Amino acid sequence: MYVLMKSLFISLLIFALYSVVMVSSQLSSADQTTIFNQHNAWRSNPSPAAKGTIKPLVWNTTIATTLQAHMNKCDGRFSPSALQGIVGEFRISMSPSLNVPSMLNFLNATRSYFNWSTKACSPGSCLHNYAVWNTTTSFACGYKQCNGSHYIMCDYFPRGGFSGVWPYTPSSIPAPTTTPTPTNTPTPTTTPKPTTTPTPTTTPKPTTTPTPAPTSAPAPGSIDWRSKSTPVRNQGGCGSCYIFGALAVAEARNKIKTGLDIDLSEQNVLNCYSNGCNGGWPMTVFQLMQPVGVEYENTLPYTAVKQATCSNSTQPRFRWTSQANMAGVTKQHFLDALKAGPVVVALFADGGFQSYGSGVYSCPEQYTGVNHAVVLTGYDASKDAWIIKNSWGTSWGSVGGYIYLSAANDRCNMMKYAGSYVTI
């Protein structure tokens, strides 16, 4: 889940808004110390054992102040820092009273939800992964009693908790364990399992996976560029979806014009884009790299880690003539833009989007922000659905890394901003 700079992590849970009944409250110094010490105890002695050392976290007073100010509103929403893609965040509710040890026990119990072989979380939210995420360096939590319930929210920087990525490299992969059913535990709500952040140690990019193509003649009015698109890639745990989306459009537009498959180096852009794995905007990628071009994958492979050197080397580089945004943000504008080829767009990828399996997906509520960049690859008139190429690997979804997104509504907010494309 790359994450746009205007974004929020993919939410794992939908929760109701609560009445605004506010009671003055915040974490006591004793509770803060308990939470802090337990986090670092988990990191110093993780289970399973880590290959190497997980550095201790520091308590981030800036995050603590900002988070507490947000929690004091009792509005049941994610914090501004999470909405802007700066931190990873979860919220836990308790009643009838605040019980920090119980909250921490619950957090630790979610450790068993994570399958180290598949790098997947089931059946619940792997909140413990936030606490032991290797590349996270600081965190803070806040507390507020609202409408009779007690809430703790914790923010982690840089963000972690991504799907399909180890929180740290284990010394050996343990066998799956039976998931416990905790009793009298708090209720969590979490921010996305983005695609935006940490530094995974193994995030290979598939380069030979066949691109799925329609199996029957498209309905009148349909547009489908999957056969002219390069294979679905995998951004891993780095928040680089904005790069993957932009370069996938360049690759596809080149294939439409020349018939040639190319594989551009997302790593080249990642190294040169100041925000790196912390999200960005696809048009800025085009503007940044158009004057100098982009290296190819075989000369600078993707590692999902921003490297120190931005290379404008003498290696062969791919260049395009220009870049542009679509003329508008109506459904017809998107359909008109698709006639010439795929475009990179932004949307809100919620928990349902993240766990998409099949069919036509429609966000269950109207979102107002965006948190993920994807490639709008076509439109299926028979389904009234957009065909969207993701960057979470071919195992995501049931159609080789693509998703059908309802075009009958815009609840995932795809039409908030105009899509972008390049001219070859």
d(C-alpha 318, C-alpha 262), whole Å: 9
DSSP label of 394: T
Measure the N-to-C terminal CA separation of the chain; round to a whole number of Å.
28
∠ CA 254-371-55, nearest 5°, is 105
Task: Choose among 363, 375, 370, 372: nearest CA to 407.
Answer: 363
Which tokens belong to 408? 């009958």
Length of the chain: 424
Which tokens in the block code for residue 191? 């921010």
Q: Which pLDDT score, from 0 to 100, does residue 210 have?
A: 39
Residues labelled as active-site residues: 241, 372, 390
Q: Give pLDDT tens digits along the chain (424 positions).
A: 444 433 333 332 223 223 333 344 789 999 999 999 999 999 999 999 999 999 999 999 999 999 999 999 998 888 877 665 577 888 888 878 889 998 899 888 888 888 888 887 765 678 899 999 998 999 999 999 988 889 999 999 887 776 667 899 999 887 654 433 333 334 444 443 333 322 222 333 333 333 444 444 566 789 999 999 999 999 988 999 999 999 999 999 999 999 999 999 999 999 998 888 988 889 989 998 998 999 999 999 999 999 988 887 777 899 999 999 999 999 999 999 999 999 999 999 988 999 898 999 999 999 998 999 999 999 999 999 999 999 999 989 878 999 999 999 999 999 999 999 999 9
Residue 59 amino acid letter: W
* CATH numbers and ranges of domains, the chain: 29-157 (3.40.33.10), 223-423 (3.90.70.10)
Q: Which two tokens stand for residue 244?
A: 């993957």
Cα–chain-centroid distance for residue 177? 27
Euclidean distance between CA atoms 384 and 320, whole angstroms: 32
Neighbours of 94 (CB within 10 A): 21
To the question of pTM greater than 0.75 for the whole model, the response is no
Q: What is the pLDDT of residue 110?
A: 85
Q: What is the DSSP string of 120-141?
A: EE-SS--HHHHHH-TT--EEEE
- How far apart, in whole angstroms, are the C-alpha atoms of residue 151 and residue 161? 20
Give the distance from CA 96 to its chain's centroid: 34
Q: How high is the pLDDT of residue 85?
A: 59
- What pLDDT score does 165 carry? 75
**What is the structure's pLDDT at 83?**
61
Cis check: omega of the bond before 158, within 30 degrees of 0: yes
